[in-house]
Structure 1
Amino acid sequence: MQNLDLLPSLLSKMNENQLALEASIMELSSWVEQQGGAEVAENVRGALDTLDRNEEFIKLTLAVLMTPD
């Protein structure tokens, strides 16, 4: 298998990791909010919005990369 053939799988795993990190950070921001850190939680959620905005593009691009020629 050529190294380039591994790229879609690598990117897919990286995307899975990113989604897992997003979920765990969201859990932490909820906990922070419950502890009285509403402003911090809001800032964290604002930063996570970038992940949400890019998710659809990443999924579509991975689908194209994983489609056999």
Structure 2
Amino acid sequence: MRHEDVIPPLLKALNENQLALAAAIEELAKWVGDRGSVDTVKNVYGALETLTHNQAFIDLSIALMMEPD
């Protein structure tokens, strides 16, 4: 298998991992927020916004890479 053939599926798997981590972090942030740590939750949601902001570009880029030549 050529290295170029591995890159799109690798990026897809890394993207899925990123989404799973974001979901887990969001659950933890909710748990922390329910216990009154408002500043911490604000910081966590700020970081999650960055992930959300970049997600559309990541999805589009992976889709383009997976298109046949």
For Structure 1 versus Structure 2, the TM-score category normalised by the shorter chain is: over 0.9
Question: What is the TM-score with the length of structure 1 in the denominator?
Answer: 0.97
Question: What is the TM-score with the length of structure 2 in the denominator?
Answer: 0.97
Aligned-pair distance for 1:61?
A: 0.3
Aligned-pair distance for 1:3?
A: 1.2
Aligned pair 1:7/2:7, yes or no?
yes
Aligned residues: 69
Aligned-pair distance for 1:5?
A: 0.6
How large is the Cα RMSD of the aligned pairs? 0.5
Runs of 4+ that moved beyond 6 A: none
Which runs of 5 or more structure 1 residues have no equivalent in the other structure? none
Q: Percent identity?
A: 49
Aligned-pair distance for 1:39?
A: 1.1
Aligned pair 1:31/2:68, yes or no?
no
